[in-house]
Structure 1
Amino acid sequence: MGAPHPTPAAARPKLRATALSRSFGRGRTAVDALGPLDLSIAPGEFLCVVGPSGCGKSTLLRIAAGLLRPSGGELEIRAGSPRPAAMIFQDYGIHEWKTVLANVRFGLDIRRLPRREADRRAREWLRRLGLAECADAYPATLSGGMRQRVAIARALAVEPEILLMDEPFAALDAQLRTILQDELLELTQTLRTTTLFITHSLEEAIVLGDRVVVMSARPGRIIAERRSPFPRPRTGDIRSAPEFAALERELWRLLRDEVRGPAVAR
C-alpha cells in the first residue's frame, strides 16, 4: 500500500480540547450536550469522530469553528493565521444566487485577495474538483455531488490550516458517497491538511481517518479511539481488506450500546 507518511502523533497538537463542555439552556432546564472531554489533533492528521445522534459531535465542530462558545474548559488551535479553519456542512452551505466561480472565490473575497489572484485560485480548485466547465453555472443546475464538490473547493481555496467537515456526504446516495470519499482521500493525502471529520458512517471513518474517536451518548464523551492499521498513501481498495471489516466490527461493538441508549438528538 506504499510507505506511510511520518506519524503525526508525536507532533505538537494543532488542535487541543481540554475539559471541554457545552450546555444549552439555564437552570433546571439546562441540557448537557457535550463533555467534558479531552482531545488533540496533530498537524496533518485526519481525525474522524463517530457517535450516536445527539452526542455533541456537531457541537464540538462548531466550537472548533468559533461558531459556539464552550460552557467549560477550552479549545485551543495552534495557528499561524487569524482565520485558520474552513468548514464544510452537510447541506453544502453555498449561495444559490452566486455562480459556482463566485462561490468558490467567496472566502478569498472576504480576505480581500486581489480579484485576478482570487479568480486564478478559484478556477484551479474547480479544475482539481472536476468542475472547470461549471464555473459560470448556478448551484440550482448542479447535482448534489457537484454542489458538495463546490463546497469542498471553496473551503480548500482559502488554504485552511484546519478543515472542519460536518457529515458532508450524508445526504448523497451510496454510490456517489463512495466516489466523493475516494476523491477526498486523494486530496487530503496530497495536501496533508489537518482535518476534523464528523460522520455516522463507520466505513467512511475507516476509509478516511488516521484515527477514529468514538463518542458516548449525550453528553458526548470520548469512550474509545482506534488508529488506522492502513498506512498512507492508501486508496478505497482497503474496503475489501479483512482488517477493514474487523475494525468496523470492533467500532460497532463499542458504539452499539451508545446508539441503543436514551440519548435525545439535538
Structure 2
Amino acid sequence: MGDPHPTPATPTAAAPTARPKLRAEALTRSFGRGTRTRFALGPLDLSLAPGEFVCIVGPSGCGKSTLLRIAAGLLRPSSGELSIRTASPRPAAMIFQDYGIYDWKTVLANVRFGLDVQRVPRKKADARARDWLARMGLLDVAGAYPATLSGGMRQRVAIARALAVEPEILLMDEPFAALDAQLRTILQDELLDLTQTTRTTTLFITHSLEEAIVLGDRVLVMSAGPGRIIAERRPPFHRPRTGEVRSAPEFTALKSELWELLRGEVRREAVPA
C-alpha cells in the first residue's frame, strides 16, 4: 500500500509546443427547426493534448453526450468545427454506458469485432483480442456470451474491444454509471492503471465528481444547456497515481470546489425556462 495521503504535484504549465490531438472551436449543436429549435451545445472550445485524460462534468441535459457523439462522428455540429489529429484510419473508439456489446457474439468475438472490421488477419486479431482479455482479467470467459456475465465484466469487455483496435483517442460516455458503488470504484482504479500504461488520449464524460478527480489530468465543468465550458481544474496529484488519492485532503477540497461550481448550473437545469 502507498501513502494514503499522496503529496500533491507541483502545478506545471502545459507544454506549449504540443499540438492538440482533438480540438473544438466555436462548436454548437441544435435540434429541430424554427420555433421548435432546441440549442443543446455551445458555443464551446476544447482541446486535448496527446496522452491527456480529460473529464467533463455537468448537469443532466447540458450536452456532454452530444459533444462526445460529435467527436465520434455520430453527429454533425450545427456550426463550428471539431478536428482530430491522428495518423490512424480509425482514430477514435467509443465506450457507452450500456456497454454496446453484441449479445449474440462470444466475448472473444466482441473484443475482436473492430479488428474484423479493419480486416486484420484472423490469427493476428485473435491474438490481440486474447491479449486484451488477459489484461482485463477475462481470458477465462473468452467463449462465454455477454448474457452470462455481470455488469462489471460486460463493461470490461467493452473497454477491451475499444482498446484492441489501438485507437489514438478513447471516448467514454459515463461508462460506469449503471454499476454499483463498489464495482464502480474497482473499475475506476483499473481504468486509471490501464490508461496510465497506454497513455491513450481520453475524453471521459461523467456525473461523478469523485470519478473525474481520480481519473483526470483536467476536469472541465459545463454549464446548464446549451452547454459551455465554465471552469477548468487540474487535480493536484502526481502521475502515476492510484485510487488512494480519494483519502487525501486535497481530494475532498477539490470535490467541494467543483460542487460549488456545479450547484447553480444543476438548479438552472432543473427549473423549466
Map of 1:135-150 to 2, 5 A cutoff? 135-150=142-157
Amino acid at match of 1:45: E
Amino acid at match of 1:212: V
Contact 1:55 1:263 in 2 (8 A): no
Q: Which of 121, 132, 135 is equivalent to 1:128?
A: 135
Change (3 A) 1:19 1:237: same
3-state SS of 1:262 partner: helix
Task: Check if 1:241 corresponds to 2:248.
Answer: yes
Q: Distance in 2 between matches of 1:111 and 1:141?
A: 28
Change (3 A) 1:9 1:148: farther
2:65 corresponds to which residue?
Answer: 58
Q: Which of 7, 11, 16 is equivalent to 2:23?
A: 16
Deviation, structure 1 residue 264: 8.0
Identity of aligned residues (%): 80
3-state SS of 1:171 partner: coil
Task: Check if 1:191 corresponds to 2:198.
Answer: yes
Change (3 A) 1:186 1:261: same
Change (3 A) 1:9 1:199: farther
Deviation, structure 1 residue 83: 1.3
Unaligned stretches of 5+ residues in structure 2:
1-5
Contact 2:218 2:235 in 1 (8 A): yes
1:34 corresponds to which residue?
Answer: 41
Deviation, structure 1 residue 68: 0.1
Task: Check if 1:103 corresponds to 2:127.
Answer: no
Amino acid at match of 1:93: G
- TM-score, normalised with respect to structure 1: 0.96
Change (3 A) 1:14 1:141: same
3-state SS of 1:261 partner: helix
1:73 corresponds to which residue?
Answer: 80
Post-superposition Cα deviations, 1:191-213, rounded to whole Å, max 9, x if no partner, equal 00000000000000000000000
Map of 1:145-160 to 2, 5 A cutoff? 145-160=152-167
1:48 corresponds to which residue?
Answer: 55
Amino acid at match of 1:51: G
Change (3 A) 1:124 1:184: same
Unaligned stretches of 5+ residues in structure 1:
none
Post-superposition Cα deviations, 1:107-129, rounded to whole Å, max 9, x if no partner, equal 00000000000000000000000
- TM-score, normalised with respect to structure 2: 0.94
Task: Check if 1:206 corresponds to 2:224.
Answer: no
Task: Check if 1:92 corresponds to 2:99.
Answer: yes
Q: Which of 110, 113, 117 is equivalent to 2:124?
A: 117
2:175 corresponds to which residue?
Answer: 168
2:3 corresponds to which residue?
Answer: none
Deviation, structure 1 residue 262: 3.4
Change (3 A) 1:9 1:57: farther
Superposed structure 1 runs of 4+ greater than 4 Å apart: 1-4, 6-9
1:217 corresponds to which residue?
Answer: 224
Deviation, structure 1 residue 7: 7.1
Deviation, structure 1 residue 257: 0.3
Q: Distance in 1 between matches of 2:22 and 2:270?
A: 27
3-state SS of 2:153 partner: helix
Amino acid at match of 1:235: T
3-state SS of 2:179 partner: coil
Deviation, structure 1 residue 228: 1.5
